[in-house]
Amino acid sequence: MEPSFIQSPTLGKAERYRAFLPQLAALLEGETDLIACLANTCAALREAFGFFWAGFYLVKNDELVLGPFQGSVACYRIKKGRGVCGTAWAERRTLVVPDVDQFPGHIACSSLSRSEIVVPMIVGNEVKGVLDIDSDCLNAFDETDREALEKIVTLLMQTLYQK
Ligand code: SME
């Protein structure tokens, strides 16, 4: 197994996501270990899109705890309702933050991070964690990212919890 997630630089963002989803599905096929699947998913996301930081926080004992990620070191624990991640968890919805300095309570793991998107990982009524992606550019994420990353999280949750 050695699929390359590197994509043609001529493709637009929506096309890249369209190409990425079946590649990711093939990568996850047959594996149900949580850490293994999350680790390869953020590695694939980073390879395909060159994200500044891409990773997961997992709900443990009513806190978010740092999970598999790609990028520089990050804070270990985030309380419910705190920062972008804790707010996406509490509100059970994707948050697109065009300028992190304008988000009250944003937790700066890296001073280089300028914008962010956080997608909650929901199974039934339970939030299992969040997918967090940071950019070092302002306004890096939009509806295309929201839609595609929600599909990616849905695929992950089906792979891990509904088979
Ligand atoms: N900025 C996040 C914290 C996690 S790091 O970006 C990796 C937040 O405000 O929740």
User: Residue 163 and residue 112: Cα distance in Å, rounded?
Assistant: 39
Which residue, by CA, sits nearest to atom 6 of ligand 1?
A: 109
Residue nearest to atom 3 of ligand 1 (CA): 107
**Architecture (CATH level 2) of domain 13-161:** 2-Layer Sandwich (3.30)
* Ligand 1 pocket test target in 107, 113, 119 with most atoms within 8 Å of CB: 107
Residue nearest (by alpha carbon) to ligand 1 atom 2: 107
Phi, psi for 80 (deg, rounded to 5): -60, 135
What integer pLDDT is reported at residue 130 of this predicted model? 98
pTM: 0.96
Cα–Cα distance for residue pair 135/116, rounded to 1 Å: 6
Instruction: Tell me if residue 157 falls in helix, strand or coil.
Output: helix
SS3 state at 54: strand
How remote is the C-alpha of 60 from its chain's centroid? Answer: 17
Place of tokens 């093939």: 26
- Which string of b and e fits 144-158 if b means at least 16 CB within 10 Å? ebbebbbbbbebbbe
**Residue 37: its pLDDT value, please?**
97
* pLDDT by 10-residue block (mean), the chain, 163 residues: 73 94 96 97 96 98 98 97 98 98 94 96 97 98 98 96 76
State the Cα torsion 158-5-69-140 to the nearest 10°.
-100
The per-residue pLDDT for 3 is 67
Task: Assess contact for 67 and 53: CB atoms under 8 A.
Answer: no
* Best probe residue, ligand 1, of 45, 58, 76, 84 (max atoms within 8 Å of C-beta): 84
